[in-house]
Structure 1
Amino acid sequence: MKTQNFKTITLLLVVFLTSTSMNLMAQDEQERPRRQGPDAKALADKRLKIPDLTDAQSEQIKKIRVKAQQQTLPIKNTMREKRARLTTLSTTEKANMNEINKVVEEIGDLQTQLMKHRETSRQEIRALLNDEQRVFFDSHMQRRHRGKHQKHRRG
């Protein structure tokens, strides 16, 4: 009798957790904007939210961002490889601290390169904007970065 009650409770718990999980995934899908189709440009413009942005400014910003992505993609890929290498080195039976420290320094150098590229792009975008747009852009970027750091702290 106890075994049957235990099985019933376990089955109900599994059904409940599964349905809750599926419901949360469905809500997430509804909230996530689609990046394909004719509304892709509208979503990109909405993401910027810079007031009174002209079409010329928007096109120049897009070019700056594409150039930045082309420059940073190889750096990001190398950084992922270095992080995988660091994981491998740090989980071996006898960790070689000299090798670990070397990879950590290489990752730091790559992060420095990424930050330099990001700041260069940011300054190029700022140069395109008028005073009102620049103030908005600067405050928007600060809020965006603050949100990223808070997200990482939670989980």
Structure 2
Amino acid sequence: MADWEDWKGAWVPGFDNPPATIDLHDHRVTRIVTVDASPDAVWTCITEPEHLAHWLGDIAAFPDGLVTGAQGRFAWTGEVVLAARVLDAVPAERLSFEWSEGVLGPTATQVTFALKPTEGGTLVHFEERGFRLDGSTSQVRASLRALAQGWTVELDELVAYAEARAA
């Protein structure tokens, strides 16, 4: 993940919270959003399973909590179940986990949320990397764009949920 100085000003003109973007070369999706809530409040929303299930999927099950080394799963009713393992958890600063459909393995991608306090809220830098995509450049681009659209929706839900809780 890039240093804060590398991305803190990476805003798309005309957007309050611009949509997720893709990096075709590194096969990753990134997004930066501002949340009108404290880093502690956002941290609660991304690390407590009962809150995760309000904006990311329908089920977030982590028996040991979202702490470094913990394993669990995310599920969307009637759709997919993702196995997950927390790689790094620094309270109110950074959460990183790997996940993949079914069981963890070589197809797992890494998801990272980095939090930074800002005037009146929290800047959240999101990244998912490690996609193993095959096909032509246009096929890979289409796959990454679909993933970016999904993360745009999910992170909009995080912003709305965290702000509603903080109000």
TM-score by length of 2: 0.28
Larger Cα-atom Rg: 1
Q: Hey, which of these two has a bigger chunk of strand by percent?
A: 2
